[in-house]
Amino acid sequence: DGKNVWHYPDLKEWIEGDTIINGQTYFKMHANTDGGGHVSLLTFWREEDGRVYQHNIYNGNDELMYDFNLSKGEKVEYDNHFEVISTDSIMVHNILRKRIALPYGARFWVEGIGNPGKLSEPLGHPVSDGTIYELVSCFEGDTCVFDENDFYASTYTPVITLNEEEKELVNANNDFALRLFQLAKGDGNMILSPLSVTFALGMLNNGSNGLTQQEINQVLGSSASSVEAINQFCYKLLTESRKLDLNTKVNIANNIYVNKGYALKPEFIDQVTHYYEVTPECRDFHDGETVDAINRWASDQTSGMIDQVIDNANFDPDAVSYLLNAIYFNGLWTNQFNEAYTANEPFNGVTDVPMMEQFAEFNYTQNNTFEAIKMPYGNLAYEMIVVMPREDKTIDEALSLYQKTDWNHYSWDICDVHLKFPRFKTSSNIDLNDLLIAMGMPSAFDMATADFSDFCDVPISISKIMQSAIIKVNEKGSEAAAVTVIEAPGGGAPVDFFANRPFFYVIRETSTKAIFFIGQFTGHDSVTNPVDDPHAINTTLDSPVYNIAGQRMTTPPAKGIYIHNGRKYVR
C-alpha cells in the first residue's frame, strides 16, 4: 500500500496521505496505540534539503527534528547541547543510508528511518508520560527495510567493480592525467581535472572517424582502446561515483549545445544520450543569450563554484556546437582538522600560510625522492594523495618517479602522523589545445585533417578546448570543480608530515584509483585565508599535550619530546 510503518512494542506509526499547510506539503503520520482498531492522526512531517521538520499543531510552527547535513563536531539544532560524534554510511537491505552518531540516548540517526527511540524524539528523550520507546522495525509497504539491530551495522565502503579492460583503461587514463598535468602545471599553484577532459573528448569521439579517432583513443587510453570502451568507462563512473558515499557529493554532468541550422547525426545522439546522459540542445547562437546559458549551466552543475567558463570575447556565434563537461566534488575529511589548531606558518620560506594541524593515523610512504600521505574522505570511497618532494628534490623529480610507480600495489604503512597541511584555495583557467596536440592528437584541431563525419553533415574541427577548475581545502574537507568546454567551429614510529614546501596532490576514487583532480601547491599566487591572530590559537586543545615530565602544555614544542593522546612524539 506504499505506507511507511514504524513498529514499537505497543505502538505502530505510519505515513499515509498528505495535506497542505501554509503553502507547504506535509505527510500525515497516524498511530495505533491500543493494538486494536483505534487510529489517530498524530502529526505532520515534511522534508527539505536533507532536513526533516515536524509541524507543531499547537503553535503552528515548524520544528527542525533531523538534519542530515550535519558533520562531525557540529551542534544539533534541536538541542544545542549535543554535538555530532561522527557520520558514515551503512548498507541495509541494499539501500545505502547516511548515519549520524550522537551521544547519550539518541545514539544514531539514520536517514529515512529516524533514531532507535521514537521518531518524534530525535534525542531519545522519554515522551510526555515518561514512556521510553524503542524502535523494533520499519516497513515500506509489506517489506521490512530496517530493524533495531541495523542501527549498529558496520560502516559501508562500496566499490566500483571493473573488468580487466576497464582496469587497463583506468591505468592508461591515469597516465594521461599525469602527462597532462606535467605539461600544464608551470611554477605556480594550479588545479585541473583530467577526468573532465576525458568525458568531453569521450563524447566528441563518438562523432570521429579514421586518424582523428585513433589519436583521441590513444591519448585517452591506449592504442587498443575503442570508442565503446571509453564510453563504458565514462558511463560507469558517471552513474556509480555519485552513489559511493552519502557524505561526499560527486556530480558529473555533460551538455551539448547545437547552433540553429545544424543537425547532429542520429547515431551520435543515441550514443551520447545513453553513455553520457545528455540530450543535445538546439539554440540560436546569435540570440545574445547563449553565453549566459552556458555559464548558468556551469554554475548550476558546480554548486556555484564556477560561474563563468566563456564570455562574449571568446564565444563564436557561428560555431556548430559547444560540448561541455562539469565535475563537482565536495568531501569531508574522515579525520577532520580542529580550527583551533590552525596557525600562520612559513611555507617554503617565502610566505606565511594558515597551516592546519592534527594527530591521527594515516597511510604513509616514503623513499629517497618524496614522502606521501593518503588523506581519506568520508567512508573512504575517495581520498587525496599528497606527494611532497624531499627538501633536495623537485616536484618534477617526484612526479617522474610517481609516474613510474604502480600505485595499485604500492606499500603503504599505517602510521601515527603529526600532520600539518595548508588551508588554501586555487583556481586555474587552462587552454588545452597545444597540450593535447603535443600529447598526440593534432588532426582534430586542423580543418584539413579532422574527421568528425559521424558528428554532423558539415566539416568541423576543434578550435578550442578550455577548462576552468577550482579547489578549496579547509579543516572540514575539500571542494573542487572543473568545467571543460570544446568549441567545434564551422569548418612506523610517529611520523611528522609537514606540508610546508611545494607538493602535488591527486583526488581519486579509491576502488578504481581513477584520478578526478590533480594539482600542485607551491605557495605562489594563492588565496589562503590567513589566520588573523596566529598567537591566539592552540590554547583550547580538544585533548591535552604534555611534556615528558607530565606537565600540560598549551601547544606542542617546536623541538623535543611530548605526549598526545597517550602516544609519544619526537620533533
pLDDT, one tens digit per residue, over 240-250 is 998 888 888 99
Burial class for 112, CB neighbours closer than 10 Å (0-12, 13-18, 19+) = middle
pLDDT of residue 31: 85
Q: Is the dihedral of CA 197, 203, 208, 209 positive or negative?
A: positive
pTM metric for this prediction: 0.77
How many angstroms from the chain centroid is the CA of residue 415?
Answer: 25
Give yes or no for a contact between 220 and 552, defined as CB atoms under 8 angstroms apart: no
**529, pLDDT greater than 50:** no
Which residue do the cell numbers 592546519 mark?
356
pLDDT-wise least confident of 53-62, 101-110, 255-264, 289-298: 101-110
- Write the CA distances from 165 to 103, 162, 171, 409, integer angstroms: 47, 8, 10, 18
Can you give the residue ranges of every domain in the chain?
4-152, 164-332+425-491, 339-423+502-570
Q: Which three cell numbers stand for residue 256?
A: 551539448
- CA–CA dist 483, 326 (Å, integer): 4
pLDDT of residue 267: 95
pLDDT digits (tens, 9 = 90+) for 213-250: 999 998 987 655 688 889 999 999 999 998 888 888 99
Strands of the 552-553 sheet, one edge to the other: 552-553, 545-547, 561-564, 567-570
Domain 339-423+502-570, CATH among 3.40.190.10, 3.20.20.300, 3.40.600.10, 2.30.39.10: 2.30.39.10
pLDDT band, residue 91 (cuts 50/70/90): confident
pLDDT above 70 as % of the chain: 84
CATH of domain 164-332+425-491: 3.30.497.10
pLDDT of residue 173: 87
Q: Is the dihedral of CA 264, 267, 273, 275 positive or negative?
A: negative
Return the percent helix, strand and coil in the chain, to nearest 5. 20, 40, 40
CB atoms within 10 A of CB 134: 11
pLDDT-wise least confident of 78-82, 141-145, 477-481: 78-82
pLDDT band, residue 350 (cuts 50/70/90): confident
- CA–CA dist 198, 252 (Å, integer): 12
CB atoms within 10 A of CB 443: 21
The rounded mean pLDDT for the chain is: 84
pLDDT band, residue 558 (cuts 50/70/90): low
b/e per residue 27-47 (b: at least 16 CB within 10 A) = eebbbbeeeeeeeeebbbbbe
DSSP state, residue 240: H
pLDDT band, residue 539 (cuts 50/70/90): very low
DSSP state, residue 76: P
CB atoms within 10 A of CB 285: 22
